[in-house]
């Protein structure tokens, strides 16, 4: 078993809050010198902080230089400039840390058009990445796997014959679809994203869920996933019927029927199954229990390697039929996982990915990109995809 499979789980801290703007010019003017002083102190503190960089953020401010002098006019002029800068910074949202991406909805409410650009979507990505880094109070220390599952399940309802389902609509917000058995536990992912949606209210839930899934993959050291916006949210009448997502208790025929309905072939079925390298099952959701790999918050080809290298036997317990590894009895595989190595057409793909992580990443990135676009009626001109910078770049 590869040592790389035993990756340590990530840990982190808590989200920031923002301050309220002043309501009168008099109060603002009175506080301007103090605000300018606070800005200077905060800039100095920020420069000494050490943390990951995010692509939508600028560099830290340089240390303000100090100088001595006795000319009162110079000091009065400097104070006037600082006071003006403090007033402008406060009124424009600088002290609240509000980016142009966050202010965009305000412009829209006032009647001005706001068309998000690549940097605005990058800002959303960065906010998700930051939240993933700071919140370690979920499975194995990361919300990443459940965010990927949210994007996957929102997209995997597509039916190519009827053109219904898919990521367009975010209809899992409503009880009929949100209550489907396959979507049990996904409220945690939707709730995790609510503060980010409140911060960037111009983005649709449909775009946010798939963007967050892309972010989760990349932040868990997976491949770059090209992504494009353009999904629109829909009402409850567009909820898909139950039964469109895979049933883990089934075999290879079921996999071909479910994924074939979406338009995927055998190789793509195996590539998408590689997402099981991440996360774990829960008895209070699917009924199954345990992780697939020793590193459930890092995406690698270990899922395929373990499928082939380990000896798997039925677990003796009161739950549904699942498999466990013979050595540690800490890992599990589902019947649909085992179908990949038992089927004569699936198995060669499993073997190829087990030997070549780069081949797996390449195919996984391509098929996930397509999965997240199923059923989306992109408008003319929305064919340009974004490749987000991760916090590791």
Which pairing describes strands 323-325 and 312-314: parallel, antiparallel, or unpaired?
Answer: antiparallel
pLDDT at 55: 56
pLDDT tens for residues 239-255? Answer: 999 999 999 999 999 99
Same domain, 230 and 260: no
Number of domains in the chain: 2
Task: Report whether pLDDT(65) > 80.
Answer: no
Q: How many degrees, rounded to 5, is the angle at CA 368 between CA 364 and CA 369?
A: 115
Could you tell me if 232 and 127 lie in one domain?
Answer: yes
- For residue 384, pLDDT over 50 is answered with yes
Q: What is the pTM of this model?
A: 0.76
Same domain flag for 359 and 379? no
The pLDDT, as a whole number, for residue 48 is: 36
- Beta-bridged to residue 324, according to DSSP, are 313, 332
Give the total residue count for the chain: 393
Alpha-carbon distance values, 359 to 4, 7, 223, 250, 356 (Å):
17, 21, 11, 27, 5
Domain annotation covers residue 11:
no
Hey, which residues are catalytic here? 153, 292
Does residue 315 share a domain with residue 210? no
Least confident range from 52-66, 92-106, 150-164, 230-244: namely 52-66
In a domain, 127, yes or no: yes
Same domain, 217 and 134: yes
Domain match, 302 and 346 both: yes
* Domain-embedded: residue 262: yes
Domain-located, residue 283: yes
Residue-wise pLDDT for 267-300, tens only, equals 999 999 999 999 999 999 999 999 999 999 999 9
Average pLDDT score over the chain: 82
Q: Which residues of 91-100 are buried (b: 16+ CB within 10 A; e: fewer)?
A: eebebbebbe
Looking at the fold, whether 275 and 193 belong to one and the same domain comes out as no
Could you list the residue range(s) of the whole structural domain that residue 167 is in? Answer: 118-244+373-384
- In order of 1, 339, 355, the CA distances from 308 in angstroms are 10, 12, 11
- Judgement on whether residues 122 and 240 belong to the same structural domain of the protein: yes
């Amino acid at each position: 078993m590869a040592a790389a499979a035993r990756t340590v789980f990530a840990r982190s801290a808590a989200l920031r809050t923002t301050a309220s703007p002043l309501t009168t010019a008099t109060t603002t003017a009175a506080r301007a010198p103090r605000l300018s002083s606070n800005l200077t102190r905060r800039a100095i503190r920020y420069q000494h902080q050490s943390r990951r960089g995010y692509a939508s953020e600028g560099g830290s401010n340089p240390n303000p230089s100090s100088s001595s002098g006795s000319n009162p006019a110079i000091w009065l002029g400097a104070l006037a400039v600082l006071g003006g800068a403090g007033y402008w910074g406060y009124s424009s949202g600088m002290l609240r840390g509000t980016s142009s991406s966050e202010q965009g909805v305000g412009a829209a409410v006032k009647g001005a058009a706001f068309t998000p650009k690549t940097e605005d979507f990058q800002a959303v990505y960065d906010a998700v990445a930051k939240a993933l880094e700071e919140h370690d109070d979920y499975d194995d220390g990361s919300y990443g796997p459940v965010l990927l599952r949210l994007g996957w399940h929102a997209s995997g309802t597509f039916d190519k014959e009827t053109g219904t389902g898919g990521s367009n609509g975010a209809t899992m917000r409503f009880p009929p679809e949100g209550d489907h058995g396959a979507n049990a536990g996904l409220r945690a992912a939707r709730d995790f994203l609510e503060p980010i949606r409140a911060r960037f209210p111009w983005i649709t839930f449909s775009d946010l869920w798939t963007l967050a899934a892309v972010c989760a993959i990349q932040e868990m050291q997976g491949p770059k996933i090209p992504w494009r916006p353009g999904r629109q949210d829909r009402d409850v009448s567009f909820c898909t019927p139950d039964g469109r997502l895979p049933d883990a208790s089934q075999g290879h025929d079921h996999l071909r029927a479910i994924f074939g309905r979406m338009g995927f072939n055998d190789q793509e079925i195996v590539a998408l199954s590689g997402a099981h390298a991440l996360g774990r099952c829960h008895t209070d959701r699917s009924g199954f229990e345990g992780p697939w790999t020793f590193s459930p918050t890092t995406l690698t080809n270990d899922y395929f390697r373990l499928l082939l290298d380990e000896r798997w036997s039925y677990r003796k317990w009161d739950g549904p039929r699942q498999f466990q590894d013979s050595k540690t009895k800490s890992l599990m595989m589902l019947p649909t996982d085992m179908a990949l190595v038992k089927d004569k057409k699936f198995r060669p793909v499993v073997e190829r990915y087990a030997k070549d992580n780069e081949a797996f990443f390449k195919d996984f990135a391509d098929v996930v990109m397509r999965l997240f676009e199923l059923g989306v009626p992109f408008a003319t001109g929305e064919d340009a995809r974004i490749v987000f910078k991760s916090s590791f770049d």
